[in-house]
Amino acid sequence: MIEIYLPILVMVLMAVAFAFVLFVLSYIFGYVKKSRTSLKPYECGMALLDEAEKRVSIRYYVVLLLFLLFDIETLLLFPVAAVYKEMMGNLEYRLYVFLELCGFVAILMIGYVYIYKKGALKWE
Protein backbone atom coordinates (compact mmCIF):
# COMPACT_ATOMS: atom_id res chain seq x y z
CA MET A 1 0.00 0.00 0.00
CA ILE A 2 2.84 2.41 0.76
CA GLU A 3 4.31 1.84 -2.70
CA ILE A 4 1.42 3.82 -4.16
CA TYR A 5 2.13 6.94 -2.08
CA LEU A 6 5.93 6.72 -2.15
CA PRO A 7 6.38 8.86 -5.32
CA ILE A 8 4.14 11.55 -3.84
CA LEU A 9 6.12 11.54 -0.60
CA VAL A 10 9.41 11.79 -2.51
CA MET A 11 8.10 14.71 -4.58
CA VAL A 12 6.87 16.57 -1.49
CA LEU A 13 10.20 16.04 0.29
CA MET A 14 12.11 17.25 -2.78
CA ALA A 15 9.91 20.38 -3.00
CA VAL A 16 10.44 21.18 0.69
CA ALA A 17 14.19 20.60 0.38
CA PHE A 18 14.39 22.77 -2.74
CA ALA A 19 12.50 25.62 -1.04
CA PHE A 20 14.72 25.35 2.04
CA VAL A 21 17.93 25.38 -0.04
CA LEU A 22 16.76 28.45 -1.98
CA PHE A 23 15.86 30.23 1.24
CA VAL A 24 19.26 29.51 2.80
CA LEU A 25 21.15 30.53 -0.36
CA SER A 26 19.15 33.75 -0.57
CA TYR A 27 19.95 34.51 3.06
CA ILE A 28 23.66 33.80 2.62
CA PHE A 29 24.29 35.51 -0.72
CA GLY A 30 21.56 38.15 -0.67
CA TYR A 31 22.63 41.77 -0.54
CA VAL A 32 20.58 43.91 1.85
CA LYS A 33 21.26 47.60 1.99
CA LYS A 34 19.51 49.22 4.94
CA SER A 35 18.85 52.91 4.81
CA ARG A 36 16.58 55.35 6.56
CA THR A 37 14.24 55.38 3.57
CA SER A 38 13.94 51.60 3.28
CA LEU A 39 12.97 51.29 6.93
CA LYS A 40 9.92 53.52 6.47
CA PRO A 41 6.58 51.74 6.05
CA TYR A 42 5.91 53.15 2.56
CA GLU A 43 8.64 54.14 0.14
CA CYS A 44 7.04 56.63 -2.24
CA GLY A 45 9.14 59.69 -1.50
CA MET A 46 6.32 61.54 0.24
CA ALA A 47 6.22 62.26 3.94
CA LEU A 48 3.79 60.17 5.99
CA LEU A 49 0.45 61.84 6.61
CA ASP A 50 -0.43 59.83 9.71
CA GLU A 51 0.96 57.10 11.93
CA ALA A 52 1.21 53.63 10.47
CA GLU A 53 -0.31 52.00 13.55
CA LYS A 54 -3.18 54.41 14.07
CA ARG A 55 -6.12 53.06 16.06
CA VAL A 56 -9.28 52.50 14.06
CA SER A 57 -12.79 52.67 15.48
CA ILE A 58 -14.49 49.35 16.18
CA ARG A 59 -17.48 50.57 14.17
CA TYR A 60 -15.46 50.09 11.00
CA TYR A 61 -14.97 46.39 11.73
CA VAL A 62 -18.60 45.89 12.80
CA VAL A 63 -19.88 47.37 9.53
CA LEU A 64 -17.37 45.27 7.59
CA LEU A 65 -18.45 42.03 9.28
CA LEU A 66 -22.12 42.85 8.82
CA PHE A 67 -21.51 43.55 5.14
CA LEU A 68 -19.76 40.20 4.72
CA LEU A 69 -22.52 38.38 6.58
CA PHE A 70 -25.33 39.84 4.50
CA ASP A 71 -23.33 39.54 1.29
CA ILE A 72 -22.79 35.81 1.83
CA GLU A 73 -26.43 35.31 2.73
CA THR A 74 -27.46 37.11 -0.44
CA LEU A 75 -25.15 34.89 -2.49
CA LEU A 76 -26.97 31.87 -1.07
CA LEU A 77 -30.16 33.08 -2.77
CA PHE A 78 -28.80 32.43 -6.29
CA PRO A 79 -28.67 28.60 -6.08
CA VAL A 80 -32.18 28.61 -4.59
CA ALA A 81 -33.41 30.70 -7.50
CA ALA A 82 -31.83 28.26 -9.96
CA VAL A 83 -33.46 25.28 -8.23
CA TYR A 84 -36.79 27.12 -8.11
CA LYS A 85 -36.71 27.59 -11.87
CA GLU A 86 -36.12 23.86 -12.38
CA MET A 87 -38.91 22.93 -9.93
CA MET A 88 -41.60 24.96 -11.72
CA GLY A 89 -43.08 21.80 -13.26
CA ASN A 90 -43.75 20.04 -9.93
CA LEU A 91 -46.33 21.86 -7.81
CA GLU A 92 -45.42 20.38 -4.40
CA TYR A 93 -41.70 21.10 -4.78
CA ARG A 94 -42.38 24.57 -6.12
CA LEU A 95 -44.42 25.48 -3.05
CA TYR A 96 -41.82 23.94 -0.72
CA VAL A 97 -38.92 25.83 -2.33
CA PHE A 98 -40.94 29.06 -2.34
CA LEU A 99 -41.75 28.71 1.38
CA GLU A 100 -38.11 27.92 2.17
CA LEU A 101 -37.04 31.01 0.21
CA CYS A 102 -39.59 33.16 2.06
CA GLY A 103 -38.36 31.79 5.40
CA PHE A 104 -34.74 32.54 4.49
CA VAL A 105 -35.57 36.10 3.44
CA ALA A 106 -37.66 36.57 6.61
CA ILE A 107 -34.72 35.50 8.80
CA LEU A 108 -32.47 37.84 6.81
CA MET A 109 -34.86 40.76 7.33
CA ILE A 110 -35.25 40.01 11.05
CA GLY A 111 -31.45 40.15 11.37
CA TYR A 112 -31.31 43.40 9.43
CA VAL A 113 -34.02 45.02 11.58
CA TYR A 114 -32.25 43.81 14.74
CA ILE A 115 -28.88 45.34 13.82
CA TYR A 116 -30.61 48.53 12.66
CA LYS A 117 -32.41 48.91 16.00
CA LYS A 118 -29.18 48.18 17.91
CA GLY A 119 -27.52 51.05 16.03
CA ALA A 120 -24.77 48.97 14.43
CA LEU A 121 -25.17 50.82 11.13
CA LYS A 122 -24.93 54.32 12.60
CA TRP A 123 -21.59 55.88 11.84
CA GLU A 124 -20.59 58.40 14.50
Q: What is the pLDDT of residues 41-73, one digit of tens each?
A: 665 666 667 776 778 777 778 888 888 888 888
pTM: 0.47
Q: How far apart are CA 36 and CA 47, in angstroms?
A: 13
Terminal-residue alpha carbon distance, the chain:
64
30 located within any domain: no
In a domain, 85, yes or no: yes
- Is the residue at 81 inside a domain? yes
Concatenating the DSSP letter of every residue in 9-59 gives HHHHHHHHHHHHHHHHHHHHH------TTTTSS--SSSPPSS-TT----HH
CA 44 to chain CA mean position, Å: 28
Please count the structural domains in the chain.
1
The pLDDT-based confidence of 15 (bands split at 50, 70, 90) is very high
52, 58 contact by CB (below 8 A): no
Asked whether residue 123 is assigned to any structural domain, the reply reads: no
Residue 49 lies in a domain: no
Region of residue 45 (phi > 0: left; psi between -120 and 50: alpha; otherwise: beta): left
pLDDT tens track for 81-95: 777 777 777 777 777
- The answer to whether residue 36 sits within a structural domain is no
Does residue 5 sit within a domain?
A: no
Q: Does 44 map to a domain?
A: no
Expressed as residue numbers, the domain containing 64 is 58-118
Helices (H) and strands (E) in the chain, counts: 4, 0
